[in-house]
Structure 1
Amino acid sequence: MVSSFPSSSLAGFSLDISAGASLLNLIIGLAMSAETGSAAPVERGAVPDYTTSEAGNPFVEGWYADPDTAIYEGLYWVYPTSSLPYDQQTYLDAFSSPDLVHWTKHPNVLTAANVSWATRAIWAPAPVARNGKYYLYFGANDIQEGEPERGLVGGIGVAVADRPEGPYVDAIGKPLIGEYHNGAQPIDQDVFVDDADGQAYIYYGGHSHANVAKLNADMVSLGTFDDGTQFREITPENYVEGSQMFKRGGAYYFMWSEGGWTGPDYSVSYAVADSPLGPFVRRARVLQQDPAVARGSGHNAVLRVPGSDVWYIVYHRRPLAEADGNHRVLAYDRMYFDGDGAIRPVKMLVKDNFADGRMFNWKTYGGRWAVAGRRLAVAAADADARAFLDTNFSSLVFDATVAVAEGTGDAGLVFRATNLSAGADGFRGYYAGISPAGTVALGKSDAGTWTLLQEASLDIAAAAEYNLRVTAVGSEISVFVNDLAQAKITATDESFASGANGVQARNSGARFGSVSVAEA
C-alpha cells in the first residue's frame, strides 16, 4: 500500500523505454476519451469572456515585450517587441488568434532590411488599419537627445502592408518623428483613431515626457493643431514611457508605464479626460508586480472584445526565476471597471486549462510529459516526475483535477516548494496526493527526508479524475477531494512558508487539468 508515500518505496523502480512510450499513449488516449480532441472547436464570433489567459500566461512562447493589439478580419492580433539586446532587435513578429487561446506566430512581419534607416532597437509596434492598408508604427535606433543634431537618425517610423501579417515596408524612407519635442524621446508610440470624428492621433514619449500629435488622413504625415503646432505635451504625473490610449463610454483613457523597465517597480497607471488632448491627471496605478506571480509588469495595450464590454490588459512581465532584463514574456488579464468608469486594480491570475495544447509555461523535472485532451499527462517514471509553474505563493488556494492513470503509485499537488531540480523527493516543500490504493495523504519533503503529516481513506478508482484542492494559510493546511466544502485532511505545519506550485506523479502515470493557483 502506498498510502504514506515513502520515498524508499520508489527505490529500484525502473521502466522499459518502449513500455513507457506505450503507457504515455495510454494516458493520452484516456485524456482524449475524457474530452473530444486536443482543443475545443473555435466558435467564430463568440465572446471570449475569461478572467485571465486561462490556458496559461505567458500566452505565447518566447521573449517578447511592449505589446500592442488590433482586431483584423475577425482575428485578434498582438504585435510585440522582440525582447533581445538592442543590436539584435532587428525584426518584429506578430501573433494572431481567433479566440485568445490558440495563437499563430507570424515571424518577421517587419525587418530592418525593409527600413533603410533602422539598424537596431526596433521597438513597440503600434498597428492600425485605414485606407485599405495596414500600418505599423515603430521606434528604432534608440535615438538620444542631441544625436539628431549630430546627424544620427532614429525615432518613430511608419511601415505599410497589404495584409496584417505583412511584410511591412517603410512608408516614407525616414522617421515620421525623428527629433525630441518637449523633452520626449520619440519611442513607445500608440495610434488612436477617434470614432467621434475620424481624427487619428499618435501618442508617444520616453524620458518621462509624453506628446500627442495629429496624423493626417494619409497616416504617414503629421497634421497641425489649431494654434499651428504639431506636438502637444500631455505628460501626467509619474509618466516614464509606454503610451496607450483607448475610449470607453465617451471618456478618453490614457495609460502609461512608470518606474524602470528592468526593475520591480515597473507598473501601469492611467488618467481619464473628456478630450483626446487631455488634460490627463493621474488617477491610480492599476498593474504592478506580484511577488507570487511575476515582476516588472508594464508597457501595456488594451483589448476590447467587439460588441461587448469585455476588456483585457495585454502587457509584458518578467518571470520570477529570470534575472536577465530582456527575459520578458507576454501576458493578459481581465480589466474591470467600476460604475463610475474607474479601472479596478488588475490581479495577475494563475491558471492553465491546457486548452491551447501547450505547456511551455511549465518546467519539468523527470518523466515524459505531453498535453492532450486539455490535460497535462505523464507516463510512469523511474522515480518521480514533477512539473512546476514559476510561482512563489505563501497563503494559497491551489486547485487541479488529478487522475492516476496507470500504476500503483500516487499523484497530486506540490506547493510552497523550493530546490526544485532535486529528484526523488529532494525538493523542499509540501505534497498532497491521491493513490488508487484508497488514500489521500499530505506530507512534506525536506531535501530527501519525507514526513507524512496526515492521511485519510478514500474510495478511489484507477484512471478516475478527482478535484483536488489545497488551502494553506500560515501553518494551517487543508486538503479537499471532490467535496470542496469539507476537508479530508487538516494539518498544522510551519516548515515551509512559500515557494513554487506544481504537480507530481510517483510510480504512476497521471494526468492533470484545470490548474488554478490564487492567493488565499
Structure 2
Amino acid sequence: MTVTSTGPLAKTCALLLAGGLLVALSPSAAVAAPVYTTSEAGNPFVDGWYADPDTEIYDGRYWVFPTTSKAYHEQTRLDAFSSADMVNWTKHPDVLTTADISWAEYALWAPAPVKRNGKYYLYFAANDIQNDAQLGGIGVAVADRPEGPYKDAIGRPLISQFHNGAQPIDQDVFIDDDGQAYMYYGGWHHANVVKLNPDMTSLGTFADGSTYKEITPENYTEGSFMFKRDGKYYFMWSEGGWTGPDYSVSYAMSDSPTGPFRKIDKVLAQDPAVARGSGHHSVVNVPGTDVWYIVYHRRPLSETDGNHRQLAYDRLHFNADGTIRRVEMQVRDNFADGNALGWKTYGGSWSAAGGRYRASRSPGGKALLDTNFADLTYDADVTLTSGGGDAGLTFRVTRPGVGPDSYSGYYAGISASGRVVLGRADGSWTPLGTARMSLPPGSTHRLRVTAVGSSIKVYVDDLATPRISVTDGTHRSGANGVRVFDTAASFDNVAVRPAQ
C-alpha cells in the first residue's frame, strides 16, 4: 500500500470521509466534519472468511485486497472489495488466481496493491516455501484496472529465496515522497526491506551495493507494513501465532524508511469481549485529513477454526508526539450497509433494510452478536411497529436457542402499552422490574442498559435518569443482542462498550 500523507492539512482540495459520505472539499473548507469511530455499519464489513487485508485508494474509491482464508491448498484465488464511503462494499471476485501464475500452486497470500506508471500492480506470496530448493516466494502481477484481471508480470518470483532468514511472504509496498518504492516483507521472525526499481518488477540496490537489508524489530513474526505521517516512518508488524489469541500488531518509528526500527508498543491486540487473533493489517489515511483507519483481520469469539477470520476496521489515533494510541475494537452497527453481518438469529424473521434491522412479530425471536461483555453500556434505537408485546435488548446472554426464554441472560424492553420491562431468563422468565411511560406505537426510543457487577439500570430516552434500577448478579457475562416478543420492531444505531 502507498501512504504518503504529510499532515492533516497537506491537501486543501481533497476527499473527506464525513457523515458516511465522501465530500469534496473546497480550498476554504474545514476538515472538522464527523468521521467514523469504527466500521459504524458493523464489523465484519464484508461477508466471508478473509485475512491479511491491504488497502489502497484509487480514484476516490477505497480498495481492500485480502487473502482468501480457506484450507491451505484451497488458497488459490484472491478477491477484492471497493467502496466510495467505507460503508457499502462491492466484491470483485478472482482478481488473481493461481491459473494466472505459472509457478504458483497454492497459499496465495497477502496481496499488496499499488498504482504506478499508469498500471496497477499486485504483489503476492505463493506456495509458502520452506527452503531455497522449493519454487515460490513473492511475485508481482499487473493489470490495467484496479479490479483486474491481473496477470503475472515477470513469469517467475521476484523474491524466491530466504535472505537474512526471512521467509519471502507478507510483502507491503510503500512509495516515498521522493518517488522511491520500497518493499517490506518477511516471515519466520525476520524482516527485510528492498528497493523496487521504477519498473516495479525488479529490485534495486542500496548505497552499499546490497539488495536485502534486514530491519527485524523486537518480537517480529510477519505482516510487515509501512506508512509515513508528518515526516516520520511507521513500520508495523504482526507478532504471536496467527491461530492463537496472542496475535497482535506492534509498531516502531524512524526518521528513515530503512530504520533502525525499535519497538514502541502494541497497537492492536485481542479483546476477550469482542474478537481474538487480531492482526496482519494495513493502514489507510483519508486524503487531505489526519483521519486514519487500521484495516485488519480477526477471529470471532465462538470460532475455533484457524481460517475463520473476518475483515474489520477501526480508527487509528495519534498522540501529540506522533506515537499511536492502542486501538479499541468497537462494537457498532447502524445497518447503513443494508446487511446484518456478524448477527446470528434464533427464531423469528429478520432482515436489514432502510438502515434498520427489522424483526417480524414472533414469540421471542432473538438476534445476537458474537460478543462477551461483562460490565457494559449498551445502546440502541428501538421502534415498535405492530403488536401488543415488547421489543428491546438482551445482554450477558449464554446458551441461546429458539424459544421465548430459551437463553440464559437478561432482557430489557419497551411495549406500546407503555411499559418498560427488565427480566432474567434461564429457560423460564423472572421479572426484575417494570416502569410506566408513554411509548406510542411507531415511535422510536433510545434504549440504554448499563450493567456493572450486579447493578443493572435501564434508561429510555432520558439517558441520565434510569427508569429501572435493580441488583441481580445471576449472569455475569455473555453476548449482546436484540429481541422481540409478540410484536414487530426495528433496531438501529446499536453500540456496545465497556462500562466507564
**Fold-level match, TM-score > 0.5?**
yes
Distance 1:41 1:135 in 2: 29
1:459-479, Cα deviation, whole Å (9 max, x unpaired) = 111111100000000000000
Aligned residue-pair number: 474
Question: Alignment identity in percent?
Answer: 64
Q: Which amino acid aligns with 1:514?
A: N
Tell me whether 1:178 sits opposite 2:160 in the alignment: yes
Distance 1:258 1:334 in 2: 20
Secondary structure (helix, strand or coil) at the match of 2:389 reads strand
Contact 1:44 1:98 in 2 (8 A): no
User: Please, which of 384, 387, 394 is the counterpart of residue 414 of structure 1?
Assistant: 394
Contact 2:301 2:371 in 1 (8 A): yes
Select the structure that is richer in strand: 2
1:125-165, Cα deviation, whole Å (9 max, x unpaired) = 000000000000000000012xx33xx21000000000000
1:487-509, Cα deviation, whole Å (9 max, x unpaired) = 00100000000000000001110
Contact 1:48 1:99 in 2 (8 A): no
TM-score in terms of structure 2 length: 0.94
Secondary structure (helix, strand or coil) at the match of 2:361 reads coil
Partner of 2:382: 402
Tell me whether 1:464 sits opposite 2:446 in the alignment: no
Secondary structure (helix, strand or coil) at the match of 1:379 reads strand
Give the CA deviation at 1:438: 1.1
Q: Which amino acid aligns with 1:180?
A: F
Give the CA deviation at 1:45: 3.6
Partner of 2:422: 442
Contact 2:248 2:278 in 1 (8 A): yes
Distance 2:260 2:365 in 1: 56
Partner of 1:263: 244
Structure 1 alignment gaps of length 5 or more:
1-39
Partner of 1:374: 355
User: Please, which of 220, 227, 234 is the counterpart of residue 253 of structure 1?
Assistant: 234
Instruction: Write the mapping of 1:121-520 to structure 2, written as runs, cut at 5 A.
Output: 121-145=107-131, 148-149=132-133, 152-195=134-177, 197-381=178-362, 383-446=363-426, 448-520=427-499
Distance 2:184 2:21 in 1: 35
Partner of 1:114: 100
Distance 1:210 1:501 in 2: 40
Distance 2:256 2:118 in 1: 27
Contact 1:48 1:100 in 2 (8 A): no
User: Please, which of 47, 50, 55 is the counterpart of residue 64 of structure 1?
Assistant: 50
Give the CA deviation at 1:360: 2.0
Q: Which amino acid aligns with 2:88?
A: H
Higher relative contact order (CA 8 A, sep 6+): 1
Partner of 1:32: none
Give the CA deviation at 1:436: 1.0
Secondary structure (helix, strand or coil) at the match of 2:99 reads helix
Structure 2 alignment gaps of length 5 or more:
1-18, 26-32
Distance 1:165 1:423 in 2: 45
Deviating beyond 6 angstroms after TM superposition, the runs of 4 or more aligned structure 1 residues are none
User: Residues 309, 108 of structure 1: CA spacing in aligned structure 2 closer, same or farther, 3 A cutoff?
Assistant: same
1:73-112, Cα deviation, whole Å (9 max, x unpaired) = 1100000000011110001000000010010000000011
Distance 2:338 2:77 in 1: 27
TM-score in terms of structure 1 length: 0.90
